[in-house]
Amino acid sequence: MEKLTVRDVDLTGKRVLMRVDFNVPVEDGTITDDTRIRAAVPTIQYVLEQKPRSIILMSHLGRPKEGPEAKYSMAPVAPALAALLGKDVAFADDCIGESVREAIDALPEGGIILLENTRFYKGESKNDPELAAEMAKNGDIFVNDAFGTAHRAHSSNVGVSEILTAVAGLLLEKEITYLSNTIESPERPFVAILGGAKVSDKIQVIEALLSKVDKLVIGGGMANTFLAAKGVDMAASLVEADAVDTAKALLTKGGGKLIIPVDGVAADSFDNNAQTQVYSVEDGVPAGWQSLDIGPATIAKFKEELADAKTVVWNGPMGVFEMSNFAKGTNAIAELLAELTAKGATTIIGGGDSAAAVEQANLADKMTHISTGGGASLELLEGKPLPGLVALTDK
């Protein structure tokens, strides 16, 4: 990566303004998954070791519509981060302004402060230069460690990078190393696994990957559209009618590379306690039923196709994994990837639901790398330049 990183600059005595991705799920003031907070800790600790004057952290949380909303406050994150660092983390109830700068100045040497949600300002998502200039006043140097927002041009990443010297944090650097460098020159066989609900969300990813991978495995709701394209009766299953022709074209283009299910688990309603039965693609889904997971024959087929893989990228679950009775396919893939990792393969989980599924299966530590950015990792897989990365200072 030909961009400056935290290792390339002197941070001693500096106010280090850091964009992190603390967009975590919060219920009744309690954080229910701190994965993204933990992911930022190594960079924060590295910066602390460089004896900065202070560390100023900024992030968004959720999608507030009309300015400040209590349920989207960053306030619960400060004590959670403090517990992980074993060090006090102050909290500011704004992300710009004189009161924020006064709070930063009042920090002890090496102190840390977390600012309020950057998206409480509408200009944030529009990369408003005036908002970026106000944010930049909070620091002397900028560290971007928020891969989850690297595919967006916002004031708190791209805007600030145009004002201060901007360097990549350790997490951002790691994401680029695995998701970009590994994919550009993978150890082969190289297999991608794509799932999730919609083909339309991933058409460009599929097209980009077909030229790079040895095999492309399709599961989840998006597989329904591919099966429909092959003439399988999918009954009441989720099928994108306007994407069927695209799926046909991709099947033709992919040839033997594109691997789709041979059976599935159908249910008589979208409910964990629904009646279920395994259907084959020859027979199709029973009338009025819907396909909610890949079936046992498909799991066996996918295992066979992945047996000798040396590099695997996985983005998107194989079924409605949030319901335990339709999580078998997703869990089977997670277990298979854990086995492949143990045999020396590089396994990369592309954020979002795949990351949640691996965490849910207690197999996160068995993967080579779990990305913290779903949308960003997809755009990187497509080969798109990420604005947050492009904006960093060149070496």
User: What residue numbers bound the domain in which 238 lies?
Assistant: 177-382
Question: Which residue from 82, 72, 78, 80 is spatially nearest to 92, judged by alpha carbons?
Answer: 78
Instruction: Evaluate whether residue 130 is within a structural domain.
Output: yes
Q: Which of 110, 375, 383, 384 is catalytic?
A: 375
Q: What is the pLDDT of residues 103-146, one digit of tens each?
A: 999 999 999 999 999 999 999 999 999 999 999 999 999 999 99
SS (H, E, C) 194-229: ECCCCCCCCHHHHHHHHCCCCEEEECCHHHHHHHHH
**Pair (83, 150) in one structural domain:** yes
Joined together, the tokens standing for residue 371 give 């990305």
Average pLDDT in the 95-106 region? 97
Q: Which residues contact 160 (CB under 8 A, 6 or more apart)?
A: 17, 19, 132, 135, 136, 142, 166
What pLDDT, on a 0 to 100 scale, did the predictor assign at position 35?
Answer: 86
Last residue of a domain, one of 170, 201, 235: 170
Residues 67 and 152 in one domain: yes
Is residue 327 within 8 Å of residue 158, measured between CB atoms?
Answer: no
Check whether residue 100 and residue 183 sit in a common domain.
no
| Residue 1 pLDDT class (50, 70, 90 cuts) | low
Considering the chain, what percentage of its residues have pLDDT values greater than 90? 81
Q: Which residues, other chains included, contact 205 with Cβ-Cβ below 8 Å and sequence gap of 6+?
A: 194, 315, 378, 381, 382
Tell me what the mean pLDDT of segment 371-382 comes to: 82
337 within a domain of the structure (yes/no): yes
Tally: H helices and E strands in the chain: 15, 17
How high is the pLDDT of residue 391? Answer: 94
Give the CA dihedral 282, 286, 289, 293, nearest 10 degrees: -30
Q: Are 199 and 92 part of one and the same domain?
A: no
- Is residue 375 annotated as part of the catalytic site, yes or no? yes
Together in a domain, 136 and 201: no
Position 393 in a domain = no
Q: Are residues 186 and 68 in the same domain?
A: no
Mean pLDDT of 67-94: 96
Cα separation, 262 vs 269, whole angstroms? 21
Residues 70 and 137 in one domain: yes
Q: With H, G, I as helix, E, B as strand and everything else as coil, classify residue 291.
A: strand
Question: Is it the case that residue 305 has pLDDT exceeding 70?
Answer: yes
pLDDT of 366 strictly over 90: yes
Considering the candidates 36, 119, 152, 328, report the single residue annotated as catalytic: 36
pLDDT value, residue 110? 97
Q: What is the CA radius of gyration of the chain?
A: 23
The answer to whether residue 97 is catalytic is no
230 and 367 fall within a common domain: yes
For residue 171, what are the β-bridge partners? Answer: none
* 198 counts as catalytic: yes
Tokens representing 197 are 């609900």
Tell me the two tokens of residue 34.
Answer: 């701190």
Exposed e or buried b for every residue in 16-37, given b needs 16+ CB within 10 A?
A: bbbbbbbbbebeeeebeebebb
Residue 194: per-residue pLDDT:
95
For residue 97, is it within any domain? Answer: yes
Instruction: Map residue 379 onto helix, strand or coil.
Output: helix
Distance of CA 360 to the CA centre of its chain: 15
Looking at the fold, whether 146 and 197 belong to one and the same domain comes out as no
Domain boundary among 153, 170, 187: 170
pLDDT (average), residues 190-210: 89
pLDDT at position 38: 93
Instruction: Kindly report the pTM of this predicted structure.
Output: 0.84
Q: What is the CATH number of the domain that holds 195?
A: 3.40.50.1260
354: number of CA atoms within 13 Å, CB side? 32
Q: Where are the beta strands (DSSP E) in the chain?
A: 15-19, 26-27, 30-31, 54-58, 90-91, 111-114, 141-144, 166-168, 190-194, 215-218, 258-259, 263-267, 276-280, 290-294, 311-315, 346-349, 369-370
- Residue that terminates a domain, selected from 135, 151, 170: 170
Judgement on whether residues 374 and 331 belong to the same structural domain of the protein: yes
Note if 343 is an active site residue.
Answer: no
The answer to whether 52 and 15 are in contact (CB under 8 A) is yes
If one compares 285 and 352, the residue with the highest pLDDT of the two is 285
Q: Which of 137, 198, 248, 257 is catalytic?
A: 198
Residue 100: partners with Cβ closer than 8 Å, 6 or more residues away: 92, 94, 115, 138
Model confidence over 13-44: pLDDT tens digits?
999 999 999 999 998 888 998 989 999 999 99
State the pLDDT confidence band at 197, using cuts at 50, 70 and 90: confident
Domain for residue 389, yes or no?
no
**Terminal Cα-to-Cα distance of the chain (whole angstroms):** 9
Q: Do residues 277 and 128 both lie within one domain?
A: no
Catalytic residue among 111, 254, 350, 352: 352
Q: Say yes or no: 204 and 117 in one domain.
A: no
The mean predicted confidence, pLDDT, of the chain is 94
Q: Average of pLDDT values for 306-319?
A: 95
Run of H or E including 333: helix 328-342
pLDDT in tens, 231-277: 999 999 999 999 999 999 999 999 899 999 999 999 999 999 999 99
Domain annotation covers residue 126: yes
- The count of structural domains within the chain is 2
Is pLDDT of 380 > 90?
Answer: no
pLDDT band at 350 (very low <50, low <70, confident <90, very high): confident
Distance of alpha carbon 103 from alpha carbon 36, whole angstroms: 25
- With beta carbons less than 8 A apart as the criterion, state whether 348 and 193 touch: no
Sheet holding 263-267, edge to edge: 276-280, 263-267, 290-294
Strands 369-370 and 111-114, sheet pairing: unpaired
d(CA 275, CA 271): 9
Q: Is residue 388 part of a domain?
A: no
54 falls within a domain: yes
**Angle between the N-to-C axes of helices 328-342 and 296-306, in degrees from 0 to 180, rounded to the nearest 10:** 20
